Amino acid sequence: EKKYDIEGIDLEGKYKDWQKKLHPDLVHSKSQKERDFAAEQSARVIDAYRTLGKPLSRAIYILKLNGVEVDEEQTISDPELLAEIMEIREEVEEATNSEALNHIRSQMQKKLQNWSNAFANAFKKREFEEAKNAIRRMTYYTRVIEE
């Protein structure tokens, strides 16, 4: 099913189930062709799990499934957002302990969740330009979290 919201879906459980079926170590006694196929399919399961497990990559993927291309490098010219991101980066640089960093991370995760929700709403309404705008904002918050 092509939907963005995965709440209530045991993504990790499904991942583990597929890995139990496809992991290359499970077919070590099979032919080379079968081992190669298992390795390829296992890699696809890992890639799918990584894509679906992150709101940003899941959003980009679901739009691509709907024929909407997203320029992941396109920047935003919203001065408020850019000023906020600069302030956050300064806070990170000035953080003196892990507690301060965890607080900043928590704030960024909340903002990411808010924009993930905005994406989900826009996607349901098939408002793809608004969905792409949400993705651009999610990109900034995701980068801050990763940094």
Distance CA 142, CA 111 (A): 10
Distance CA 15, CA 46 (A): 8
Domain assignment present for residue 64? The answer is no
Co-location of 77 and 142 in the same domain = yes
- Note the pLDDT of residue 131: 95
Co-location of 79 and 117 in the same domain = yes
- Note the pLDDT of residue 118: 97
User: For residue 121, what is the domain's CATH number?
Assistant: 1.20.1280.20
pLDDT tens digits along 68-97: 998 877 777 788 888 998 999 899 888 889
Domain assignment present for residue 59? The answer is no
Distance CA 59, CA 19 (A): 24
pLDDT band for position 115 (cuts 50, 70, 90): very high
- Note the pLDDT of residue 96: 86
Co-location of 80 and 136 in the same domain = yes
Average pLDDT, the chain: 89
Co-location of 80 and 140 in the same domain = yes
Count of the separate structural domains present in the chain: 2
Co-location of 123 and 89 in the same domain = yes
In which domain, by residue range, is 96 found?
Answer: 72-146
- Each as own residue / partner, the long-range contacts of residues 26-35 (CB below 8 Å, 24 or more positions apart, any chain) are none
pLDDT tens digits along 10-38: 899 999 998 888 777 777 788 888 888 88
Please tell me whether the overall predicted TM-score, pTM, comes out greater than 0.85 for this model. no
Co-location of 12 and 39 in the same domain = yes
Distance CA 58, CA 43 (A): 17
- Note the pLDDT of residue 26: 78
Lowest mean pLDDT among 2-6, 45-49, 61-65, 88-92: 2-6
- Note the pLDDT of residue 87: 92
Co-location of 29 and 89 in the same domain = no
Domain assignment present for residue 108? The answer is yes
- Note the pLDDT of residue 3: 83
Co-location of 47 and 76 in the same domain = no
